């Protein structure tokens, strides 16, 4: 294992690129999971077939669930709306 205090950014890049374990270099006191404590509510809605096809394509590309893509996309749009309102 490499000493985290003496490692260079080039070495970190190499370790990451080669798929080695990065956990020794993660400061556990700085790890955050945004939204983890947020309340969850279920919603129902009708979504056009072409949107579902794109969600499934993106989910497969990122190796995550379709539900995860829906959450990501909706959160991104909500953040965009927040920024627009804040700058208005």
Domain boundaries defined on the chain: 1-31, 47-88
pLDDT tens digits along 17-72: 999 988 888 777 877 777 777 888 888 999 999 999 999 999 999 999 999 999 99
pLDDT of residue 41: 86
Q: Which pLDDT band, with edges at 50, 70 and 90, does 5 fall under?
A: low
Cβ atoms of residues 64 and 55 within 8 Å? no
Cβ atoms of residues 44 and 37 within 8 Å? no
Is residue 2 predicted with pLDDT exceeding 50? no
Cβ atoms of residues 15 and 2 within 8 Å? yes
Is residue 84 predicted with pLDDT exceeding 90? yes
Confidence (pTM)? 0.55
């Amino acid at each position: 294992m490499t000493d985290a205090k003496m490692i260079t950014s080039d070495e970190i890049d190499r370790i990451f690129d080669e798929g080695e374990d990065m956990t020794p270099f993660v400061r556990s006191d700085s790890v955050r999971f945004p939204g983890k404590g947020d309340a969850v509510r279920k919603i129902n809605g009708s979504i056009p077939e072409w949107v579902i096809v794109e969600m499934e394509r993106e989910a497969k590309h990122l190796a995550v669930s379709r539900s995860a893509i829906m959450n990501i996309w909706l959160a991104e749009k909500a953040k965009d709306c927040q920024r627009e309102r804040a700058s208005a």
